[in-house]
Amino acid sequence: MSKIKAEFVGSAVKPDQYPRDALPEIALAGRSNVGKSSLINRLLNRRKLAHTSGKPGKTQTINFYRVNDRFYLADMPGYGFARVSKAVKAAWGRMIEHYLTSRKELRGIVHVIDLRHPPTADDRQMYDWLKHIGLPAIVVATKADKISRGRWQKHLKQVREGLSLRSGDPLILFSAQNGQGRDELWRAIQEWL
Ligand code: GDP
């Protein structure tokens, strides 16, 4: 793939801070520390565009990345981090709910799950909610490199069952470490644009 033009354009905590040029948006959702930043960096071929961190739950903003002047990746704050206050959780919920239910530019969600473990209650709640709103979602099961090849199918099944995916619902095996699944994810995103 030719070189990707990608730039961080800003963080938003409220709607008037969202981009204004009406490009389509693809949002990323996932538990804190699941590997969203690493996925963004791998997808865009950048080492440090999105900040990976050992401090889960820190980012409470929606971070926008403009890609090839064609669309935005909107990185939503990670959910499911126990050590944040109720007030912060409530503010998070309002911001995300507003973004997901009213953002006209939004074409779909990339929902990032950890392949290693069964989906958590928070994962299920998020996925059910996306379906309820009617947003197209692709589930990406990441950290595939941490599971031996012979066990992938078992773990994919665990994700499918844990989220109650239907047979046609997309599920992509991914690794930010070795780039597995990257082309497939690109194709899926491009279909939304
Ligand atoms: P975020 O909080 O969801 O943005 O998660 P990060 O991208 O910061 O990743 C959290 C931790 O998981 C970091 O230590 C990453 O290096 C690691 N990580 C993320 N994706 C992968 C992956 O595909 N494979 C492996 N082995 N580690 C990963």
Confidence of residue 95 (pLDDT cuts 50, 70, 90): confident
**Structural domains of the chain sorted by starting position, each given as residue range(s) with its CATH number in brackets:** 6-192 (3.40.50.300)
The string of pLDDT tens digits covering residues 31-86 is: 989 999 999 999 999 888 887 655 555 567 899 999 999 999 999 988 877 667 77
The per-residue pLDDT for 82 is: 64
Number of residues in the chain: 193
Question: Residue 162 above 70 pLDDT?
Answer: yes
Which residue's CA is minimally distant from atom 14 of ligand 1? 54
175 lines ligand 1 (CB under 6 A): yes
Cα three-residue angle 169-96-11, rounded to 5 degrees: 110
Atom of ligand 1 minimally distant from the CA of 32: 2
Q: How far is CA 69 from CA 9, 13, 73, 120, in A?
A: 11, 23, 11, 35
Kindly report, residue by residue over 104-153, the tens digit of the pLDDT: 999 999 999 999 999 999 999 999 999 999 999 999 999 999 999 999 99
CA distance 132 to 98: 14
Two structure tokens written together for 164: 């109650």
Give the Å distances, CA to CA, from 73 to 31, 128, 147. Answer: 17, 22, 27
Which pLDDT value is given to residue 59? 60
For ligand 1, atom 25, the nearest C-alpha belongs to 143
Q: Is the CB of 180 under 6 A from ligand 1?
A: no
Q: What is the pLDDT of residue 38?
A: 95
d(CA 165, CA 163): 5
Q: What is the pLDDT of residue 92?
A: 79
Cβ of 68 closer than 6 Å to ligand 1, yes or no, is no
| Beta carbon of 37 within 6 Å of any ligand 1 atom | yes
Alpha helices in 33-115 (DSSP H): 36-43, 86-102
- Per-residue pLDDT of 142-160, as tens digits, reads 999 999 999 999 999 999 9
Give the pLDDT of residue 152.
98
